[in-house]
Every structure is written in C-alpha cells, then in structure tokens.
Structure 1
Amino acid sequence: MDRIDNFRALTRDMTRAVGMFGSQLAGSDLTLTEVRVFYEIGEREWTGRALAEYLGLDEGYVSRIVSKFERRRWVVRRVSESDRRVRVLSVTPEGRAERAVLVERMRVRAGALLGDVPEVNALHTDEAVGRLRHHLAGDAIAETPVIYRDLTPGESGWLIQRFSEFARLTYGFDAGFEALVAEILVGYLRNHDPTRDRVWIAERAGLRLGTIMCVHSDDPDISKLRLFFVDPLARGQGIGAELVDRCIAFAREAGYGKMVLWTQGQLHGAIRLYERAGFVCVDRQTETDFGQTVENQSWELLL
C-alpha cells in the first residue's frame, strides 16, 4: 500500500470511528455538523462567511445553523471590536455553559475511542495525530502554543531516528551521521550534569518539532551547542530562534565563557540563526563526511 492509498484508508477508518459518535450526540439534539459550527464559534471571532469557508460548508447552511443557535440564545451577532463595519458571531453566557457540556461530552467519547491504546504506544499515537494535524491544518495549528521541555527517558531513540532520516533524505548522508548522533546522545546520557548540560524539545499539539543541546567540553569554560534541528513543518515560525536563545541563555547562567558549534555550509537556515545570535565562523574546511563532500564550519560565541 503506497502513501496515498494508506491515507485514504485512514480517512475511511476515521469516518467510521467518528460515526460511532452517532448521528446526534447523546443528550443533545444537535447533529455533529451543528456541534462543529457551535464549537468553532466559541474558539474565535468569525463572520458567517469566514466560518463557512473554514469548515468547507455552504454559507446558507451555516447561516441556518447559526439562526437555530440565536433562537436558543446561545449565539448573537455583534459589531466587531476591530472593524465596526463588520458583524461577527459571539457565544453568549448561556451558550458558553452549553458549549462546555458538549465539549466535555465529546472528550469523553473521544477518550473512549482511544481507551484501548496501550500506554507504551500512546506517545506514537500522539505523534502521528500531531503530524497529520500539522499537515492538514497548518495555519490553525500554528496558533497553538509551543512547549519547550526537557528530554525524557526513551526519547533519545526518536531524536536519533528523526535527525538521521532527515539528513539522509535531504543531504544524502550515510549511516556514519546516524552513528555520530547516537554517540553524542550516549555521551550526554552517561555524563549528564544538570547544572552544565541540557537538551530541549520543542513540542506543539503532541508533535515534537525541534531540539537543541548544550553540553560541556573538556575545557570547563567552553560549552557546545549540538543537535540543533527544526522539523520542516515548523520552520519560519520562530521555533529555531527560540531554541537557540534558550540554549545560549542556559550556557550563560551555567557560567560558561564561550559557546562553540560545528555545522556544515549547506545548513543555511541554521547558519542565519547562529549569525543572528552573534556567533562568528572561525574555520571552514571542505572534506568528505558521511558519504558527501561538505564544507565543515566551526563557529564561536563569547558569552
């Protein structure tokens, strides 16, 4: 089964699973489409037309649903605070109370569908769901806050796999690069000093989007920035800059006087962030590494 057929199979499975909610939610006379409309009105400010376009529904159909909510005093049309020429949809206090009940009911039913997923597989499920959401609803997902957290036990394997797969598919690197990433992580896990070393994971909506590492070196005054990566899905959104800033701030707080890093000339996006942060390139060497001819670069930042 190729990627397209696999995705089509997933959409059929999801349609069947959502159908298990029933044509109407238990305890409510609203259809699933009406619940979708009601939920989105409570999420942000919409005009009727914009809401219909967002949901992929006929504007007249959405207008009839909104009229139903108005009769129940759940929704009102009011003048937009940002543009008084525009009327937007707003949930009333009564509507918020009803919406809260519906949201909890949907959470319970969704939880029941996921209830059979073993805990050991839950992380993989969250990752898969998050990646699909980023692909299919990128603009909406981009509004979800990014969490910057520590590396947790068991995640090193993911970091090795994601880093190495990207390097292979993007730059043609061989297994030597994977071995290097693994060696760096093994060294971190074995010699980790929480006052001097740290790894950050950037995560949004269940999907791990980036990573960076600050580790000590043989010289107690020098720290190393290592394993900086941002998923292509999340580039251009400030995540990479935030990771670099956090790494540098940690190094300063830990008392290091200098931070160094090693990178390669084709990593243009990362290099722009290093330059922005004040790093200076101190050496360039064209060499054969990981099965490719590359320009290895050494950069330094005085802290």
Structure 2
Amino acid sequence: MTVQDIRAFNRFYTNVIGALDYSRHLYAPFTLTESRVLYELAHSPRTDAADLRTELSLDAGYLSRILNKFEEDGLIERTASRRDPRRRRVTLTVRGRETAALLAERADESVGALLATVPAAERPRLAEAMRTVRDLLSEGRPPRREDVLLREPGPGDLGWIVQRNAALYTAEYGWNADYEGLVARIVADFAEDHDPHLERVWIAELDGRPVGCVMCVRDEAPATARLRLLLVEPDARGLGIGDRLVTAVVDFAREVGYRDLVLWTNDILSSARHIYQRHGFVLLAEKPHRSFGKDLVGQDWRLDLHGTRE
C-alpha cells in the first residue's frame, strides 16, 4: 500500500458520506468543527475548554471563538470549576442539548440512508472491514481518556449489561447465578417500563465496543433517583470511565429535578466506593447479608443533589 492508495480512499470515502457538503445541509448552520464540539459537549457532561482543546486537537484561539459564538447563541454556559478555579466548565443549555440532539438525529438518518444501500448480508463484512482499519491504524497506541464515548444503549446493549455483570462478578468475586438473576430483573424492568425523561442508561464505548455502563432509575422514595449497575471492563480501567459514568448520573439526576441520589453496594467493591466518595456520597448504613453465594456487607449511600455542586 502507498500513500496515494490511502489518499485515494480518503477522497472516495469523504465523497460517499458527503463530508465536503456537511456544512451546507447536514450540520447547517454549523461548520463540521462546530458540530463536533457540540457532540463532545453532549457526550461529556462535565467538560472544560482545556479538555476540549486536547480531545479535538484544536487551536486555543479557534476553540475560544467557537465557544464565544455558542455562548452568544445561548447554547452553552461557562462557569468556574470548584475543583480548579483556573478552569472554566462548559455545559450545554437546554437549547444546546436540543441542538446537539437534532444534529445527532440528522447524522443517524444520513448514515442510515447510506447503510440502506448495502445489502443486509454484506453489512457484517463492512463492519469487520471498518474495525480492521481502525485497529490497524491505532495498533500500538494505548487508549486515551478522550477515546471513550458515553452514549445511550443500542440494540443488544442491555443484554450486554446482564452478561458482563454476571461474568465479571463471577470472575472477580466468585458470585453465583443469583447475581445474574438480580441484574436481569433490573434491566428487564428498565426495558419494559421506564420514563426516558427521568431514567437513563449510559454505555461507555472504546474503539467501537462497550467497556462500561451505569443506570439512573427512579427510587421508591419521593424525588429520589437510584444509581445502579456501575461497571467498567478490567482492560479499560484507569481511564476515568467509572468517574465519568457517575458524573453523568449525578448531572442528569440534578438536571431533571431529583432531590437525592442513592445507591446500594457492597464493601468489597472498594474502587467503586472511592468514586462515590469523591462525588460526595455519604454512607448511611451497613448490614451483613448472605447473597450471591457469599457473606457480604451491604452499604446504603446517599448524595444530596442540592447540597453538593461542582
């Protein structure tokens, strides 16, 4: 393969997906770069300008002009981070989220129309070819935090949550099939009956595969949400995925009006417990119990969403 081969493929592919025409229809009235910034903000609930600059390899002045435009148009808000006052936290407004959702819908429709031209029997081959290109060009490069995408679940992802919870907790803690049954019931309840305005699932994706998940569902107590099924694959740990997933739940719960966020865990899950503590969760109670084939100590944690804010 030569440089010219790759350049020829690039010209072909950008023409097929209409990349050179995006600014005139798909992402109008935004440029492709502006649309990408909106996308990153929509999928990273707690982001600052420095993070965006690093993730997108953008010139600081160029990014500043984009953010100024977004702020003037009422798409974003910029506030000082409580963790580091030198940094400016960037979040989408309601209008900004609606705009990002519209652009995502247009992109999905465009890709769906392109995929419709490929016979169903050939689509697995196309997907495998795309994975091969991605794998070969990223070979030898360790994964980075900015490579991780938080997204809504797609077909099969809820089943993946059940399968990976069962497999990981068996491998790491020796839990039996009772835990798989519990996870299956939680996921089934969400799939069959949930309010999309008040309940949500996030999937963390790295290199095209799911590597983490978390759920936010309504609790029995009034104005209370429950965080459930936080999981990060072993080979994806160390990238801050667990923290990002919990951040997504906290921000969502606060945004839609919950007063409290609660969770139940076990004391042996020390890594997850440390994440909860960093976000301000307070331990309410502990109780020994026999579950999943093991003697465990269950813990109830609570976060006051009005009393803690980044």
Q: What is the TM-score with the length of structure 1 in the denominator? A: 0.58
Residue aligning to 1:6: none
Does 2:103 match 1:101? no
Deviation (angstroms), 1:149? 0.8
8 A contact 2:145–2:239 mirrored in 1: no
Match of 1:301 among 294, 300, 303: 303
* CA pair 124-192 structure 1, distance change in 2 beyond 3 A: farther
2:268 aligned counterpart, secondary structure: coil
Which one has the largest radius of gyration? 1
* Equivalent residues in 2 for 1:35-114, closer than 5 Å: 99-101=6-8, 103=10
The one-letter amino acid of 1:100's match is R
Residue aligning to 2:263: 261
The one-letter amino acid of 2:257's match is G
Please give the per-residue CA displacement for 1:266-288, whole angstroms capped at 9, x wherever unaligned.
Answer: 11111110000000111111221
Deviation (angstroms), 1:219? 2.4
8 A contact 1:199–1:214 mirrored in 2: yes
Match of 2:253 among 244, 251, 254: 251
Residue aligning to 2:241: 239
* Equivalent residues in 2 for 1:189-228, closer than 5 Å: 189-228=191-230
Residue aligning to 2:182: 180
Identity %: 35
Match of 1:229 among 223, 228, 231: 231
* CA pair 261-269 structure 1, distance change in 2 beyond 3 A: same
The one-letter amino acid of 2:174's match is G
Residue aligning to 2:165: 163
Deviation (angstroms), 1:217? 1.6
2:197 aligned counterpart, secondary structure: coil
Q: Which has the higher contact order (CA 8 A, sep 6+)?
A: 2
The one-letter amino acid of 2:163's match is Q
The one-letter amino acid of 1:233's match is D
Unaligned runs of 5+ in 2: 15-117, 306-310
8 A contact 1:260–1:298 mirrored in 2: yes
Please give the per-residue CA displacement for 1:58-88, whole angstroms capped at 9, x wherever unaligned.
Answer: xxxxxxxxxxxxxxxxxxxxxxxxxxxxxxx
Deviation (angstroms), 1:184? 0.4
Residue aligning to 1:148: 150
- Count of aligned residue pairs for this structure pair: 203
**In 1, distance between residues paired with 2:127 and 2:185?**
24
Residue aligning to 1:291: 293
Deviation (angstroms), 1:180? 0.4
Greater shift, 147-156 or 160-169, is seen at 147-156
Please give the per-residue CA displacement for 1:15-60, whole angstroms capped at 9, x wherever unaligned.
Answer: xxxxxxxxxx4xxxx4xxxx5xxxxxxxxxxxxxxxxxxxxxxxxx
Please give the per-residue CA displacement for 1:231-289, whole angstroms capped at 9, x wherever unaligned.
Answer: 11111111111111010000011111001001111111111100000001111112211
**In 2, distance between residues paired with 1:199 and 1:154?**
13
**In 1, distance between residues paired with 2:252 and 2:166?**
26
Deviation (angstroms), 1:146? 1.6
**In 1, distance between residues paired with 2:169 and 2:187?**
17
Deviation (angstroms), 1:222? 0.7
Unaligned runs of 5+ in 1: 1-24, 36-96, 108-114
Cα RMSD of the aligned pairs, angstroms, is 3.5
Deviation (angstroms), 1:106? 10
* CA pair 176-122 structure 1, distance change in 2 beyond 3 A: farther
Deviation (angstroms), 1:295? 1.3
Match of 2:281 among 253, 256, 279: 279
